[in-house]
Structure 1
Amino acid sequence: MTDHCTTTVGSYLADRLEEIGLKHYFAVPGDYNLVLLDRILENKNLEMISCCNELNAGYAADGYARATGGASAVFVTYSVGGLSLLNAVAGAYAEDLPVIAVSGGPNTNSEAEFEMLHHTLGKLDYDYQRDIFSKVTAEAVTIRDPHEAPTKIDHAIQTALRFRKPVYIEIACNIADAITSKPNVRSFGGPTASDPVSLKAAVDHVANLLNNAAKPVLVSGVKLRSFGAEENFHKLADASGYAIASMPNAKGFFDEQHPNYMGIYWGPVGSPGCGEIVDSSDLCLFAGPTFTDYTTTGHAALVDPSKVIQARPNSVVCPNQTFSNVKLSEFLEQLAPRITANDASMVAYKRIQEDPPALSAGAPETPLSTRQLVSRVQQMLTADSAVIAETGDSWFNGMQLNLPTGSRFEIQMQYGSIGWSVGALLGYCIGAPERRPIALIGDGSFQLTAQEISTIIRYNLNPIIFLINNGGYTIEVEIHDGPYNNIKNWNYADLVHVFNAADGNGWSGKAATEGELDEAIKTAKSHNGPAFIEVLIDRDDCSKNLLVWGSHVAKNNGRPPRVN
């Protein structure tokens, strides 16, 4: 911690970031944030991870927050840096990740003297970046007075942790080095507690509904993790005896080795038998769900609202009753002991349960298919694995994986920004060094953010990356094809040698057959550093579920306008 006699605005922020558990932050320098970075670097308990550009730094902060379960921080310069970061912060907002975005700002004298500044829009407007970020953050503050810095910094951090959303802090370039108060002792708690009266009423009402249902089921949703409710959802699952499903963007949030786990509820592209049991149930409790066109396959997976209970982050919505100011984790925790065990839905599922199709390896010279790639990835998974699946066919291939207890699975399904996975992989490796992430990345997505492979090499991280080269934007092809879905092919594996230069330790290989893939995986697993395998797949080889899903989403997108 910084001595109070020398506490600057920058060192105050660094101490607060350390206090809430950060060990790293991501940064791209620029003249408006250089002094701020000097002050942050003085805190030896925080390590700076230097990124190639601001968008990737934001994606890395996204991945770090996922890996640690806490907050993350990213530092950029004003305007040209901040607006490059914006898309990643918007994605973090959509995905409920407390990313703390910090930007340097113009000198405080510039506004008073009406100066036209570089890196700006060429207007006398000094607040436009903060105004823009206010649309994609839970709080956006500008610090131009060192005496106000502690209050504003603390408020922004508290907001990020309480609401699980990004916040924006802009610090004028001549204020970062100004003396301010030392960080006084305080707590930065998470979400507030439930209203006890409303909580009790919700638990009483839902317990009565579930205990009187014939075949109730539970479905885990994506907000379980963001709002700290995974453990209590497991307790409810154990107590209930119900059949359990997960929504696609919540894959891995519930133990897939649990005896009552059915699979992914995703309408026509979900796990075999899972959708039939959920849809035929007389009462479904969805815990932390989001119902979008993507998670419902173009709204093809919609349970009758009269049979649905939604436990949301701050409320419980029943068919004819809503309870507000009820926190998700507390609700699930108190509901569990009130449930009478009922295995009717699980018995029904076992009647129709299908064994996964057997997939035997072909001859070594057999051309690769996505199915064979996924089968190899399945064999690689351990309790310490984390699968990072890029937007596209990797979603659908990843859904086929049977995750061991303890392993994790990450996708960005709400925001769906292609290119997200490369930066997120960097952040995940930094935030969870005990895991060896496996990334599934399509060639089209990779071309957006490929530079950050060099950062992964720079810090000698150890992911195994499968670059799926099939010559285009496959997910877009299946929604609506056109010449815009074609891309220029690269020698992807050779990029690792470019990024290695004289001092890197990245390894890369290329596989077009099953035998070549087996050899590449063997080498990658034994390599102590980043491993990159370019997998050559036919352009028309994609998951069957992507074809089905794409047609439903295209139909939903293509609805004609209503005429009044």
Structure 2
Amino acid sequence: MPDSTIEFASYIVERLKQTGVKQVFGVPGDYNLEFLDYIEKDAQLAWVGNANELNAAYAADGYARVKGGLAVLVTTFGVGELSALCGVAGSLSERLPVLHIVGAPSTRMQRERALLHHTLNTPSSFSAFSDMSKQLSCSMALLNQIAPDTPNAYAEAFDETLRQCLTQCRPGYVELPMDAVRAVVSSRGLQLPLPEPHAAPSLDALRQITPPGTPSPINKLYKDLGYFPPKPDSVTEHVVALITRLYAKAQRPVVLVDACAARFGMGPVIRHLVEACGIRFFTTPMGKAILDEHHPLYGGCYAGRNSLAPVRDEVEASDFVLYVGSLKSDFNSGSFSVHISDEHAVKLHSYTTQVGYAQFPTTDIRHVLPLLVGALEAATSARTPTRGESLQEKMKQGRVATLVDQPDGDDIVHKWLWPRVGSWFADNDIIITETGTSSFGLLPVPLPSHASYHAQVLWGSIGWSVGATLGAALAAEEDADKRRTVLFVGDGSLQLTVQEIGTMVRRGLHPYLFVLNNDGYEIERQIHGQTAEYNNIQRYDHQLLLPFLAGRSPATPFESHVVRTQAELHALLLDDKFNVPDRIRLIELVMPKGDAPEALLLQARLTAEANNGGH
């Protein structure tokens, strides 16, 4: 009823459920325990319970990536929230909506400046931590600053931060004082709809659209799906017209897909555009697998100088580049070696559109791209698109990575490993790689048509992938298809967050954990310090990890393998029982020290050059 009331903690829980959240990550602490009671007693929300707050932030990051929506992280004031900030920073850097709720001391204790545990013993003890998070948050709900006699303002502040988090696909911060948990607020806000930044058409719906080459009822499609893009203003319509004129003049147009295309749910729209117009498309490392890499229009992964020569030549020879959601970081651009002239480039972002040399800062990818579908289709009918070689054709010619049937030697080397596991992946696998040898190794390998690929290319926090795998596997459990989750992580990176494997066991998850045992920080060695002591690590006995972390009464079966030769790995991947995801599996791949993928070797040289001022 409009005049009904609800406890504020219950209000938060209901709002989270409205966004589709089913898992809540974090670590209990005395300032958040009462709020956690509300989560625990709710039938739809599950408290994950992580080994530490940093891992919880990584897990929330992975959950948001796979789910394509909001993730929630709950920590306690001070020590807990600071532990999580590295992970939250990664979500900001790579545009992920993670809501960070911090249980805090009561408003009375804060007003009295009581000397409490977890404080800094300074005059700014109760503002210092939120000040630190200010730079990592798109919006903040500092409920301690709201007068206790206006509790409805709690709900309003919370809703505003939640809306901004969803709309901007960036972290939001909520400071929840202990006395606000049970405050009584109006429930009217629960009737107000929340934004849905990922409300793009589904793949199934797009496959039913009129065949390419005929005008598509894109507006009707959106209406049928219940998605209503805002009515375009004159600036957006002007931008679409400019882009269409540039495209109509082009003889060699391409689409380049980057990370933010996925963050805002534009993958299906891009797929329809390239199919309807017959435009070749490429991805960046951060955009890998957003679209089908077995599609006949897919040309490969482009990262400037760190691209296969045929891929680089075709992209850089194009006379129209629709660059969707670009994030031109060093590792995503071959150390800034992307050579695409602004003169014939169109760059679509959530905050601006660049057409040639002109910027239109009031436009948004979610408004522009759907309108472009029909406009470019109409322009396509007046021109004959040039078709280049598909990735599959390049594979047949041996110009990209392909399965090596009879490799030289029997060591598990990168040149052999990545094409081999590439052929093992199932169609809808969730593949997670640590920033290092694994993320670079898979770049040229075409992944299955419905697989998803996740790597923290921009933030590059060592150990991220293990926590992210937990979040990804939990999101996969919510999917009706029960997708497999597959991790590739180096032995050095694993040591930072290894304890989160125990959480995977406790939650009954069944990921495949491939540990690349090459005795140290190989990516760092390739950049600098080949024989330096600082790139060495303690050698773990990886075969003892699962028994140790699972304990005496594991919640799920587990098994470990150590694989030293190509023949052993080949046999394991062909084993029928191994391919049933009914337990958590750790596969230790013993690899030669100093071996690395070609893409990493080149990136290491480019990075070293950049670090030395280009010399």
Q: Which residue of 1 aligns with 2:225?
A: none
Give the drift of 1:345: 4.5
Q: Which residue of 2 aligns with 1:492?
A: 542
SS state at 1:509 partner: strand
Q: Which residue of 2 aligns with 1:516?
A: 568
Q: Where do 1:522-537 residues align within 5 Å? A: 522=575, 523-526=577-580, 528-537=582-591
Q: Which residue of 2 aligns with 1:246?
A: 283
Q: Which moved more, 1:170-179 or 1:70-79?
A: 170-179
**Contact preservation (8 Å) 1:273, 1:349:** no
Tell me, yes or no, if structure 1 residue 212 matches structure 2 residue 249.
Answer: yes
Tell me, yes or no, if structure 1 residue 551 matches structure 2 residue 605.
Answer: yes
Q: Which residue of 2 aligns with 1:163?
A: 168
SS state at 1:21 partner: coil
Q: Which residue of 2 aligns with 1:179?
A: 184
Please list the CA deviations of residues 183-202 of structure 1 after superposition, one character each: whole Å capped at 9, or x if unmatched: 53010014584752111111
SS state at 2:340 partner: coil
Q: Where do 1:421-440 residues align within 5 Å? A: 421-433=465-477, 434-440=482-488
Structure 2's unaligned 5+ residue stretches are 198-228
Give the drift of 1:426: 0.3
**Contact preservation (8 Å) 1:364, 1:515:** no
Aligned partner (choices 522, 527, 540) of residue 594 of structure 2: 540
SS state at 1:399 partner: coil
SS state at 1:232 partner: helix
Aligned partner (choices 514, 518, 525) of residue 477 of structure 1: 525
Q: Where do 1:42-121 residues align within 5 Å? A: 42-121=41-120
Corresponding residue pairs, total: 559
SS state at 2:359 partner: strand
| Distance 1:151-1:348 versus aligned 2 partners, 3 A rule | same
Give the drift of 1:326: 2.1
Please list the CA deviations of residues 448-492 of structure 1 after superposition, one character each: whole Å capped at 9, or x if unmatched: 111100001111111111000101111111111232111111112
Instruction: Provide the rounded CA distance (Å) in 2 between the counterparts of 1:526 and 1:207.
Output: 49
**Contact preservation (8 Å) 1:520, 1:533:** no
Give the drift of 1:525: 2.1
Tell me, yes or no, if structure 1 residue 412 matches structure 2 residue 456.
Answer: yes
SS state at 1:524 partner: coil
Instruction: Provide the rounded CA distance (Å) in 1 between the counterparts of 2:329 and 2:72.
Output: 28
> Which AA in structure 2 matches 1:550?
A
Q: Which moved more, 1:166-175 or 1:337-346?
A: 337-346
> Which AA in structure 2 matches 1:174?
D
Aligned partner (choices 256, 263, 266) of residue 303 of structure 2: 266
| Distance 1:214-1:527 versus aligned 2 partners, 3 A rule | closer
Tell me, yes or no, if structure 1 residue 346 matches structure 2 residue 406.
Answer: no
| Distance 1:364-1:157 versus aligned 2 partners, 3 A rule | same
Give the drift of 1:269: 2.4
Tell me, yes or no, if structure 1 residue 189 matches structure 2 residue 185.
Answer: no
**Contact preservation (8 Å) 1:193, 1:327:** no
Instruction: Provide the rounded CA distance (Å) in 2 between the counterparts of 1:194 and 1:323.
Output: 17
Please list the CA deviations of residues 237-276 of structure 1 after superposition, one character each: whole Å capped at 9, or x if unmatched: 1122222111110001111122110010112322441110
Please list the CA deviations of residues 5-40 of structure 1 after superposition, one character each: whole Å capped at 9, or x if unmatched: 6x3221111111011111111120011111111122
Q: Which residue of 2 aligns with 1:454?
A: 502
Give the drift of 1:527: 5.1
Q: Which residue of 1 aligns with 2:489?
A: 441
| Distance 1:123-1:520 versus aligned 2 partners, 3 A rule | farther
| Distance 1:254-1:525 versus aligned 2 partners, 3 A rule | same
> Which AA in structure 1 matches 2:452?
R
Give the drift of 1:518: 3.4
Aligned partner (choices 148, 158, 162) of residue 153 of structure 2: 148
Instruction: Provide the rounded CA distance (Å) in 2 between the counterparts of 1:479 and 1:189.
Output: 43
The normalised TM-score by structure 2 is 0.87
| Distance 1:376-1:369 versus aligned 2 partners, 3 A rule | same
Please list the CA deviations of residues 112-159 of structure 1 after superposition, one character each: whole Å capped at 9, or x if unmatched: 323111112122321111111110010122223344221111111111
Instruction: Provide the rounded CA distance (Å) in 1 between the counterparts of 2:537 and 2:31.
Output: 36
> Which AA in structure 2 matches 1:301?
V
Give the drift of 1:364: 12
**Contact preservation (8 Å) 1:298, 1:555:** no
| Distance 1:380-1:351 versus aligned 2 partners, 3 A rule | closer
Tell me, yes or no, if structure 1 residue 331 matches structure 2 residue 368.
Answer: yes
Aligned partner (choices 272, 277, 281) of residue 235 of structure 1: 272
Q: Which residue of 2 aligns with 1:387?
A: 431
Instruction: Provide the rounded CA distance (Å) in 1 between the counterparts of 2:505 and 2:568.
Output: 24
Instruction: Provide the rounded CA distance (Å) in 2 between the counterparts of 1:234 and 1:286.
Output: 14
**Contact preservation (8 Å) 1:365, 1:515:** no
Instruction: Provide the rounded CA distance (Å) in 1 between the counterparts of 2:614 and 2:607.
Output: 14
**Contact preservation (8 Å) 2:558, 2:585:** yes
| Distance 1:527-1:404 versus aligned 2 partners, 3 A rule | closer
Q: Which residue of 2 aligns with 1:122?
A: 121
| Distance 1:36-1:447 versus aligned 2 partners, 3 A rule | same
| Distance 1:29-1:189 versus aligned 2 partners, 3 A rule | same
The normalised TM-score by structure 1 is 0.94
**Contact preservation (8 Å) 2:73, 2:101:** yes
Q: Which residue of 2 aligns with 1:290?
A: 327
